[in-house]
Amino acid sequence: MTEMITVERVGRVAVLKFNRPKQLNALNAQLAAELVETASTLDRDRDLGCFVLTGNEKAFAAGADIAEMQERTYPEMADEDYFSIWEEFSAIRTPKIAAVNGFALGGGCEVAMLCDFVIAGRSAKFGQPEIKLGVIPGIGGSQRLSRLVGRGLAMDLILTGRMMDAEEAKSAGLVARLVDDDKVLETAIAAAAQIASYSKSAVRWAREAVNRSDEVTLREGILFERRVFHSLFATQDQKEGMQAFIEKRTPKFSGK
Ligand code: DAK
């Protein structure tokens, strides 16, 4: 636990919670650094199988911290490569589920999207309102939003800065599961526990294969997937998973 990130362990799942409620969990540099340090440390724990990243009832996160950015100059932002740290969070290999209640705006929406998938409550609101502040999305929103919801809707959201409710976000493909507000965290933890119960190698490679579909041609992606599929036959978990199926029992994955 740090000043701005609380950590709760639920078996093989770590719940990371933004802890800046007065600022609606606005993402400043300290919060980002604490999150990356906490998540990187936990990522080395072999008993950890999945993260849940969450906020509070009112806000997942209302964006990058406007007060922190307001007086910055161009050279400061560029020299510091402000917010490139979020790429380090994205690169952490343990899966991450965003559990979203309330506002997920600007950087908040972008951080939800850099998780592997989003579980949201019915009152959640998503948007990229940076245009209203005279800037544009800065943590991958212009790229990830168009991949998730399509170019037209991404343009609509980024150019008008309007908010999208959770129903629209679900039908557009930004939200994977939509549940009642008070069920968001428990649903995310249950999904994370399910992921964490599987072979760690299979989970990691499945994630990488899906992510590769954003980067390469279909032909390259399918070849990558097949090669990874072959390589998993070098793991004990593959033997155990298939043996358990034949023996009609629950597999015991060792991560080997
Ligand atoms: N930053 C700082 N403080 C924030 C904040 C934010 N993003 N959002 C809310 N707060 C603070 C408010 O100032 C207020 O503080 P006090 O006045 O109480 O001290 C407190 O949280 C409660 O907010 P409100 O009083 O406004 O609450 P309401 O329920 O009335 O409204 C709201 C909720 C979410 C609709 C509203 O707070 C709002 O519109 N917030 C701003 C949303 C927003 O514009 N988000 C985008 C931020 S910009 C980059 C480029 C760009 C970016 C980053 C990097 N690079 C090139 C690297 C920018 C990214 C962004 O996310």
What pLDDT was estimated at residue 1?
A: 86
What pLDDT was estimated at residue 23?
A: 98
Beta bridge partners of 5: 18
Within 10 angstroms of residue 227's Cβ, the number of other Cβ atoms is 11
Q: Which atom of ligand 1 is nearest to the CA of 128?
A: 46
Look at residue 87 and tell me whether its pLDDT is greater than 90. Answer: yes
The closest residue, in CA terms, to atom 27 on ligand 1 is: 24
Q: Which two tokens stand for residue 76?
A: 């400061």
**pLDDT above 70: percentage of residues in the chain:** 100
Residue 99 CA to ligand 1 centre (angstroms): 19
Determine if ligand 1 sits within 6 Å of the CB of residue 141: no
What pLDDT was estimated at residue 19?
A: 98
Mean per-residue pLDDT, 118-136: 98
Look at residue 91 and tell me whether its pLDDT is greater than 90. Answer: yes
Encode pLDDT of 19-50 as tens digits. Answer: 999 999 999 999 999 999 999 999 999 999 99
SS3 state of residue 96? strand
Distance in angstroms (rounded) separating the CA atoms of residues 127 and 157: 6
Q: Return the active site residues.
A: 64, 107, 110, 130
Mean pLDDT in the chain?
97
The closest residue, in CA terms, to atom 55 on ligand 1 is: 138
Distance in angstroms (rounded) separating the CA atoms of residues 147 and 141: 10
